[in-house]
Amino acid sequence: MPNIVGTPPHCGASGPVGPHVLSKDAPTEAPRLGSAYWRLWTAGTISNLGDGIDLAALPLLAASLTRDPRLVAGLATAAGLPWLFFALVAGAIVDRTDRRALMVRVNVARGLLVGVIAVTAATGSARIWSLYLVAFALGVAETLFDNAAQSMLPSIVAPSLLELANGRQYAAEVVGNSFVGPPVGGLLFAATLSLPFWADAASFFISAALIATLVGSFRPPPRLGLDGQPAPRRSIRADIAEGLRWLYHHRVLRTLALLLGTLNFCGNMALATFVLFAQEELGLTDTGYGLLLAGMAVGGVIGGLIGARVAAALGSARSLHVSILLNGLCPIAIGLLSSAWWVAVVALAEGIFTVVWNVITVSLRQRIIPDQLLGRVNSAYRFVGWGASPLGALAGGLVANALGLRAPFIIAGVLSLLALIPAAIVLTPANLAAAEPH
């Protein structure tokens, strides 16, 4: 079951985008994504390939240490907790620093952290609690990196191209993270337990090196006082409060954040013990589990490539409603199926509109949130939207332990369908149009 993430993969900027001054007779050219965008796209693709390898290998390593669904689900809980405890602070940091430099430092740190897992796997010293610690630390790094990446994108992409840019980013993310990476991770894990983690660590270092080649400063504009001069720096707490207030008073974004939290809670309820479901209910091997993840990712690739067109054809409001509908119906179907092939087919349809949701909502935020607030408001948005993920993973482990490995899918699907009610009330074409800057 694909997870709604609301976060673009690794992306960056090399300079601001502003209006072009043209002479009366000068030919106009359609805006392009630009070389800086594609350089960061390449860095993200490499890193996401490593993430995809890890996506299959880490649950397999956990499952080799314990068969308790609660302990396996605890790994997803540990990885998601930073969105509750650190996301708001991360947003304030992103709005205070050079976003490119921050991304480089964080990726180096992530490479070292994954290297720790590789060493423990190679030496036979891996323990479930040590995986929790590293997963939590990687989650902290993710709150910084993803927030900085998302906040940088509007600096290099014209507003009219944000859907296209985000769609390309998501397509690359899904290809690496979910389509190519997982089967490779399953194969590498079957060969040598530590090999997939060495590969993931290398991908972070390569990605950091590519990001470091971008020229320029990517620090957000300073906050100005009434006299037009830079205002004194305030406390982290005051900066966080400003971002929270901005989100709270924006009805559309506030509703989208709450809906994202609901869908991520439900998605992680199902995904937390998915490795056990695949092995025990579907009868898959380690390699088969990686191939299943790859098959399920096809919908995400399609959604990334056609997301902008789907949103234009159906309209943003209807596209969001269809996404919620499929995020309810598809998990229920998966919970009732016993064929890995049919699980992949059902998840394909869900994956298309999961990415369509991401393309629409991320692009909307990037257009309407002021740049000097983008990190903080994004962090507040994701605090609500992603903070529910570890709670869902915890609930999934408890439900699977009490009611069986199929129960989390069915319960998650029913809860997701209930999210259609507030979506129909608030996410109307008129409300979404009114939220756009004019």
DSSP notation for 77-133: HHHHTHHHHTHHHHHHHHTTS-HHHHHHHHHHHHHHHHHHHHHHHHHT---HHHHHH
pLDDT at 111: 94
Count structural domains, the chain: 1
At residue 22, the 3 state secondary structure works out as coil
Residue 226 included in any domain: no
Residue 411 included in any domain: yes
DSSP 27: P
8 Å CB contact between 365 and 84: no
pLDDT at 247: 93
| Residue 194 CB-density burial (10 A; 0-12 exposed, 13-18 middle, 19+ buried) | buried
Characterise 78 by phi-psi region: left (phi > 0), alpha (psi -120 to 50), beta (else).
alpha
Query: What span, in angstroms and rounded, lies between the C-alpha atoms of 117 and 134?
Result: 8
Given a cut of 70, the residues of the chain with pLDDT beneath it are 1-31, 174, 178-179, 222-232, 438
Side-chain-facing half-sphere of 233: CA atoms under 13 Å? 8
8 Å CB contact between 417 and 328: yes
Residue 278 included in any domain: yes
Residue 229 included in any domain: no
pLDDT at 41: 85
Quick one: CA torsion of 169, 58, 119, 107, rounded to 10 degrees? 20
Q: In CATH, what number is assigned to the domain containing residue 154?
A: 1.20.1250.20
What φ, ψ does residue 230 adopt, rounded to 5°? -55, 130
Summarised one tens digit per residue, pLDDT across range 257-292 is 999 999 999 998 988 888 889 888 888 887 788 777
8 Å CB contact between 186 and 60: yes
Summarised one tens digit per residue, pLDDT across range 357-372 is 988 898 888 888 888 8
Residue 25 included in any domain: no
pLDDT at 168: 81
pLDDT at 118: 93
Residue 22 included in any domain: no
Query: What span, in angstroms and rounded, lies between the C-alpha atoms of 198 and 387?
Result: 29
Contacts of 323 (CB under 8 A, 6+ apart): 4, 353, 354, 356, 357
pLDDT at 21: 33
Summarised one tens digit per residue, pLDDT across range 152-185 is 887 877 777 877 887 788 777 767 776 677 778 8
What φ, ψ does residue 414 adopt, rounded to 5°? -65, -45
Residue 4 included in any domain: no
pTM score: 0.68
Quick one: CA torsion of 353, 355, 356, 362, rounded to 10 degrees? 140
Domain span at residue 100?
A: 35-219+236-435
What φ, ψ does residue 226 adopt, rounded to 5°? -65, -25
Query: What span, in angstroms and rounded, lies between the C-alpha atoms of 316 and 268?
Result: 25
Residue 7 included in any domain: no
